[in-house]
Amino acid sequence: MVPITPSIMRCMDVGDIGEFELIDRLAATIAAEGKASIAAIEGHGFRLRLAVGDDAAAWDARSGVQVLTTDTMVEGVHFDLAYTGWRDLGWKAVAVNLSDVAAMGCTPLYSIVTLGLRDDLPVEGLVEMYRGMLDVSGRIGGGIVGGDVVRSPVFFVTLAMQGVAADTDDPTLLTRHSASAGDAVAVTGHLGCSAGGLRAMSDPTLRIAGETKAHLEAAHNRPVPRVPEGLGLVAHGITTAMDVSDGLVDDLGKICAASGVGAVIHSDRLPADRYLREAFPDDWLELALGGGEDYELLFTGSPELVRRCAGSLKVPVSIIGQIVQGSAVKVLDGRGQELEVRSRGWDHLARSR
C-alpha cells in the first residue's frame, strides 16, 4: 500500500477516494475548525444534538420566529475557479446566505451544504472550500451541521441556512412590503466594487493592479455580510430592507413592487469608493447602479429614523433617494435630469442582458 503523504493528498481527486471518504474528510474539517461557531449559536438558546454523521442534523430549539434561506453557486455561472480560489469560494457560498439572513434582521444559526461534484475535482480544494466556509462563519456567525454529496456534470454548491429573529414579545422581521411614499432610501457601505472586481479578474485587457485590484477582487470574492447592521436596523424600528445582490436599481424595484410605490435615486449620492472610481472612471456609475453582488443592505424609513440609523451603525450609511408615489424606479443626475440606466441588475433566467 502506498502511504498517503501530504504531497499525494494535494493532488487527489474526488474520484480517487469516493463519496464516503470525502464526506469523512469534510466532516473532520468542520469538527476541528467549527467548534467556536457552534458554541456561539448555543449562546442564543439552541443546543446541537447531532451534526454530520446521521440521517439529519438535530438540535434543541427555543420558541420564536425563524427564517430559512438557500442559495446555489454554479461553476461557469456564479464563479470561475480560474480567478476564484477554493477558500474564497467557500467564504462566498456562506456569505450570500448570511446576507439573506441579515436582510431579514435575524441572527444566523445552522446550515447544511449540498455539493454537486465532478470526479476530477481536487479533494484538498474542497477541504479548503470548507475552511473558507468556516472562516466567514467564525467571523459573522452560524455553523455548518450537515449536507449531501451528489455526482454532477457541473460543479455546484448549494447551502441552506436557518436564522432566528430577536427574542421579543413581538418579533420584527425586515421585509420588502412596508415602504411608504415619503420614506428615505438608504444603503450601507459602498456599491459597485464587486462587479468591478469581477470585471478586473475576467478581462485580461484591463490594467488594474496593486491595492486597487486587491480591493476590488476581495469585494467580489469575500463580501462581508451585514448581519450586525441588520440587527441594528430592527432595533431602531426599521421594517423595510433587502440585500443588494442583483443590482441596486433592480433590487429597489423589488421593494417598490412589493410595497406598491416608486422610487427616485440621486446618482450623485451613490456611495462608490475611490478604488472603483479610479479603476473605472467611465463606468463606475453603471457598476454601482446595476453591478450586483455587493451584499449591502438597502432599506427605507422615515427620514428622521434613517438619519438616526446612519449615525448609529458601525458602517457608512448613505441616503441615496426617496420613495414616491407610482411604480417606477428613476435615476436622476446632479441637475435633476433622468438618466437612462443600461444595466439595472442581474436576471438569472433572462435570455439576454
SS3 305: helix
Task: Give strand ranges (E) for the chain.
Answer: 47-50, 58-60, 66-74, 107-117, 143-151, 156-164, 184-188, 240-243, 262-266, 297-301, 317-324, 329-332
Distance between CA atoms of residues 172 and 188, nearest Å: 20
Quick one: pLDDT at residue 132? 98
Reading the block at residue 76, the C-alpha cell is: 461557469
Of residues 240 and 8, more confidence is placed in 240
Cα–Cα distance between 146 and 55 in angstroms, integer? Answer: 9
Contact of 89 with 71, CB cutoff 8 Å:
no
SS (H, E, C) 136-155: HHHHHCCEEEEEEEEECCCC
Pairing mode, strands 262-266 and 329-332: parallel
Residue 100 CA neighbour count, 13 Å, CB half: 20
Please state which of the ranges 176-180, 203-207, 347-351 shows the lowest mean pLDDT: 347-351
Angle at which helix 86-103 crosses helix 227-236, to 10 degrees, equals 10
Neighbours of 65 (CB within 10 A): 16
Instruction: Give start-end residues of each CATH 3.90.650.10 domain in the chain.
Output: 184-332
Q: Give pLDDT, residue 53.
A: 67
Average pLDDT over residues 263-276: 97
Topology of domain 184-332 in CATH is Phosphoribosyl-aminoimidazole Synthetase; Chain A, domain 2 (3.90.650)
Report the mean per-residue pLDDT for the chain: 91
What does the DSSP assignment read for 219-283?
Answer: HHHS----HHHHHHHHHHT--EEEE-SS-HHHHHHHHHHHHT-EEEEEGGG----HHHHHH-TTT
Residue 41: the pLDDT is 87
Specify the higher pLDDT residue, 1 or 138: 138
* CATH 3.30.1330.10 intervals, the chain: 12-164
Whether residue 180 is predicted with pLDDT greater than 70 in this model: the reply is yes
- Residue range 12-164 forms a domain whose CATH class is alpha beta
Quickly state the pLDDT bin for 257 (edges 50, 70, 90): very high
pLDDT of residue 36: 87
Place of cell 477554493: 86
213-251 per-position pLDDT tens digit: 999 999 999 999 999 999 999 999 999 999 999 999 999
For residue 345, give every residue at least 6 positions away whose Cβ sits within 8 Å of its Cβ, in sequence order, or none: 246, 247, 248, 249, 250, 251, 253, 290, 292
CA 323, 324, 325, 330 torsion: positive or negative? negative
pLDDT band at 9; cut points 50, 70, 90: very low
How confident is the model at residue 23, as a pLDDT? 84
Q: Which of 249-253, 288-292, 349-353 has the lowest mean pLDDT?
A: 349-353
Among candidates 105, 248, 95, 205, which has minimal Cα distance to 161?
Answer: 95
Predicted pLDDT of residue 318: 98
> What average pLDDT does this structure show over 185-198?
98
**Full-prediction pTM beyond 0.85?**
yes
